[in-house]
């Protein structure tokens, strides 16, 4: 389908006339045309919050088949670093692009500067390629040149890694046509309250464009229009009487991104809201299946029909295979994908006798506790049926005894005897070990759960009820943690825990790094208590290292693994090569992003950013399994446990990387004039200290003598171990 300029000349975007929109469009168009032909393969960066400015830049690029790369203005340093490793845009639209804030992408103009033309609100900044200022005339070497007409849409950045799904005008148009047919044809008018740099927001803009409809970016006039919500947005809207009076007039309210709780579904039917549950993802240009409203009204569990010629299959492991004209072309900067038979999603589901799709949940959310597989969605649904519960999130927290311990976070009214109520509904092994009341579930801006990040609100292993006390650990400064039994903190337990007095009383232990208040968290748990002194909580015995460990996709971890009995042979060539091979393997598999690491005679240190596939514990289990045979040949095996330190958001990796690099020098394993052969660093990671090494790569001698704060931090964290790693 060709780009139709007439479609954007009309008055179709609320808040801007067709004439004014075209003026802005033409200014952006001229800037793009001024980019030398040989540089266009680097594409344009679109990182714009304002929806009208976004639309101007987007349509200007696609009208010229100029490759365009969408980016999220809310990304942090890690996401921008990953992004800069994939693309090197020649110019950018948006405040973040103009500020040159992306690591590896500067704001200087290339050698052939693009002239400034027109309105100030349509300004772009020419960007240089990667870290080579003189390479402006070359194609990018990081992720490769972009094809003309490519539209790259980010996915996965909120769970710690950025993938760029490759679409084009045709795949996005096919998705729009499928939704239009599902609605019975005619113009699709939208109220868009989702950001346009997400596929769910972008497609609302394009549906209005392709169908001859209109779009507004608020909920002021919903009658006859379509909205796209995530479940949390819908639930909040139900609590607003004025908005509810508008929503009943909507043509359709598409709800996707996560499962809709049964209690919310019942409320929707009671209010006669035109809700249409949908299923889709960035790779399918948003929704690819939907449950017709009339079917959903009759049956909460009704299956979804395919949209736009989509077809579904179910793999042997239960995952959903999707074929569709709207399917993406693969991920930029990654190995080519054979999508001729469709794309296998990370969602598990089944097809009913009528061929309708039923989505059960994420394959990677399955919890393995004591050898039993637990579907968190089943637990969440059962929990949401309890009186007073609004939302629930079931997660698996790494546990030394169970492998993973089932923990449920929930919102709503604080519960009493939840266990008895669940025993008649769920199998015994599916009963949560702990439940945690929170003021709000951890959600990203798309309304999706941020995975096990929710568990960072309260580290449950240390929670207990001794003499009416509580220990709360969080990720930012506290503003006061009330005593158990007082308003805002209820802690009950049936598992071995430690009694600690209330915050503010003698012996209280409250460690935190994130704001909390008296409504932050209520924890209830399931096993016999015991009383110990509060000081014991500060110790990390080797056998207790994994208890309460929280895995956060996208977080950075400093990890140490020791050999059993501290035997020294890890620096033998064959063993060190095996360790390096497994670091490479896990990096390529997406278990984590490997930054740097070193093999010492009896232990390894490495620094990684955790991926979304596995927990920290699962990554280490895989690492040990893959290196086991090479260690055995040298008479070695790994110590049962491991040490990990999660870096806070404002912690720099530099100190940990430097500590790892200097470790063999500090242990006098070689003189400063030589290079340790078992230090490894990723090509994508370049800490600042590297520039101060001598020509051979050896460090200044003063570094070895100078004490390091990082060393003290690590040793303090490990002071209860008999043999802490060096």
Q: What is the pLDDT of residue 33?
A: 96
Specify the DSSP class assigned to residue 39: G
Q: What is the pLDDT of residue 652?
A: 82
Q: What domains are there in the chain, each with its CATH number?
A: 5-167 (3.40.50), 189-202+220-363 (3.40.50.12780), 366-544 (3.30.300.30), 556-717 (3.30.70.1290)
Taking the C-alpha atoms of residue 655 and residue 647, their distance in angstroms, rounded to an integer, is: 11
Q: Give CA separation, 492 vs 266, 297, 410, 526, 669, in Å.
A: 32, 40, 16, 8, 51
C-beta atoms surrounding 476 within 10 Å: 12
Q: What is the pLDDT of residue 511?
A: 29
Q: What is the pLDDT of residue 358?
A: 92
Instruction: Say whether pLDDT at 79 is over 80.
Output: no
Q: What is the pLDDT of residue 67?
A: 97
- The per-residue pLDDT of the chain, averaged, comes to 77
pTM: 0.56
Taking the C-alpha atoms of residue 167 and residue 165, their distance in angstroms, rounded to an integer, is: 6
Mean local confidence (pLDDT), 224-237: 89
Confidence of residue 709 (pLDDT cuts 50, 70, 90): low
| Nearest of 118, 124, 72, 63 to residue 98 by alpha carbon | 124
Confidence of residue 1 (pLDDT cuts 50, 70, 90): low
Instruction: Say whether pLDDT at 130 is over 50.
Output: no
Taking the C-alpha atoms of residue 703 and residue 379, their distance in angstroms, rounded to an integer, is: 53
Taking the C-alpha atoms of residue 12 and residue 15, their distance in angstroms, rounded to an integer, is: 9
Q: How crowded is the C-beta side of 239, counted as CA atoms within 13 Å?
A: 7
Of 11-25, 165-179, 384-398, 524-538, which gets the smallest average pLDDT?
524-538
Confidence of residue 448 (pLDDT cuts 50, 70, 90): low
Tokens matching residue 41: 């393969």
C-beta atoms surrounding 442 within 10 Å: 18
Q: What is the pLDDT of residue 702?
A: 85
Kind of pairing between the strands at 226-229 and 252-255: parallel
3-state secondary structure 642-659: CEEEECCCCCCCHHHHHH
Q: What is the pLDDT of residue 647?
A: 87
Of 119-133, 367-381, 711-725, which gets the smallest average pLDDT?
119-133
Q: What is the pLDDT of residue 78?
A: 67
């Amino acid at each position: 389908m060709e780009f139709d300029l007439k479609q954007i000349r009309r008055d179709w975007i609320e808040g801007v006339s067709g004439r004014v929109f075209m003026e802005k469009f033409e200014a952006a168009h001229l800037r793009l045309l001024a980019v030398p032909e040989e540089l266009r393969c680097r594409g344009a960066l679109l990182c714009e919050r304002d929806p009208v400015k976004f639309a101007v830049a987007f349509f200007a690029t696609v009208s010229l088949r100029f490759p365009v790369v969408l980016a999220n203005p809310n990304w942090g340093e890690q996401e921008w670093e990953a992004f800069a490793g994939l693309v090197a845009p020649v110019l950018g639209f948006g405040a973040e692009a103009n500020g040159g804030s992306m690591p590896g992408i500067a704001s200087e103009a290339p050698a052939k500067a693009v002239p400034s033309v027109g309105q100030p609100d349509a300004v772009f900044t020419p960007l240089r390629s990667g870290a080579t200022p003189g390479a402006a005339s070359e194609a990018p070497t990081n992720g490769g040149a972009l094809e003309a007409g490519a539209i790259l849409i980010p996915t996965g950045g909120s769970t710690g890694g950025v993938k760029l799904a490759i679409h084009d005008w045709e795949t996005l148009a096919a998705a729009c046509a499928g939704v239009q047919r599902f609605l019975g044809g005619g113009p699709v008018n939208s109220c868009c309250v989702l950001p346009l740099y997400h596929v769910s927001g972008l497609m609302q803009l394009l549906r209005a464009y392709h169908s001859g409809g209109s779009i507004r970016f608020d909920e002021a006039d919903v009658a006859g229009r379509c909205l796209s919500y995530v479940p949390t947005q819908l639930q909040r809207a139900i609590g607003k009487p004025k908005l509810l009076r508008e929503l009943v007039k909507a043509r359709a309210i598409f709800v996707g991104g996560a499962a809709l709780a049964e209690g919310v579904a019942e409320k929707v039917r009671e209010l006669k809201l035109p809700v249409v549950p949908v299923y889709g993802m960035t790779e399918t240009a948003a929704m690819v299946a939907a449950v017709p409203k009339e079917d959903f009204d009759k049956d909460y569990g009704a299956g979804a029909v395919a949209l736009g010629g989509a077809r579904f299959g179910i793999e042997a492991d239960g995952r959903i295979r999707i074929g569709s004209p709207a399917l993406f072309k693969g991920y930029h900067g990654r190995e080519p994908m054979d999508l001729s038979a469709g794309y296998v999603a990370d969602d598990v589901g089944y097809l009913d006798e009528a061929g309708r799709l039923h989505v059960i949940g994420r394959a990677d959310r399955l919890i393995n506790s004591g050898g039993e597989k637990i579907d968190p969605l089943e637990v969440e649904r059962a929990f949401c049926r309890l009186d007073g519960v609004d939302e629930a999130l079931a997660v698996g927290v790494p546990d030394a005894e169970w492998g993973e311990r089932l923990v449920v976070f929930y919102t709503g009214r604080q519960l009493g005897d939840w266990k008895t109520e669940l025993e008649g509904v769920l199998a015994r092994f599916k009963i949560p070990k702990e439940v945690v009341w929170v003021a709000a579930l951890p959600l990203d801006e798309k309304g999706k759960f941020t995975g096990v990040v929710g568990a960072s609100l309260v580290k449950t292993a240390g929670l207990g009820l001794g003499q009416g006390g509580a220990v709360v650990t969080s990720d930012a400064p506290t503003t006061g943690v009330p005593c158990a039994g007082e308003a805002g903190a209820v802690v009950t337990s049936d598992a071995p825990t430690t009694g600690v007095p209330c915050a503010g009383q003698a012996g209280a232990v409250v460690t935190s790094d994130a704001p909390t208040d008296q409504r932050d968290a209520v924890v209830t748990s399931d096993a016999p208590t015991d009383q110990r002194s509060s000081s014991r909580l500060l110790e990390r015995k080797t056998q207790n290292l994994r208890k309460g460990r929280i895995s956060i996709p996208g977080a950075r971890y400093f990890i140490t693994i020791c050999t059993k009995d501290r035997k020294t042979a890890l620096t033998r060539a064959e063993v060190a090569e095996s360790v390096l091979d497994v670091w490479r393997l896990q990096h390529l598999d997406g278990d984590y992003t490997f930054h740097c690491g070193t093999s010492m005679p009896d232990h390894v240190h490495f620094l990684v950013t955790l991926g979304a596939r596995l927990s920290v514990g699962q990554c280490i289990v895989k690492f040990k399994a893959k290196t086991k045979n090479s260690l055995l040949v040298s008479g070695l095996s790994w110590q049962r446990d491991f040490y990990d330190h999660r870096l806070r958001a404002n912690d720099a990796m530099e100190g940990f990387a430097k500590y790892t690099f200097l470790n063999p020098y500090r242990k006098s394993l070689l003189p400063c004039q030589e290079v340790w052969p078992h230090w490894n660093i990723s090509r994508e990671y370049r800490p600042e200290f590297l520039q101060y090494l001598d020509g051979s790569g050896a460090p200044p001698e003063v570094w070895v003598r100078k004490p390091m704060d990082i060393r003290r931090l690590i040793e303090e964290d490990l002071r209860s171990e008999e043999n802490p790693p060096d």
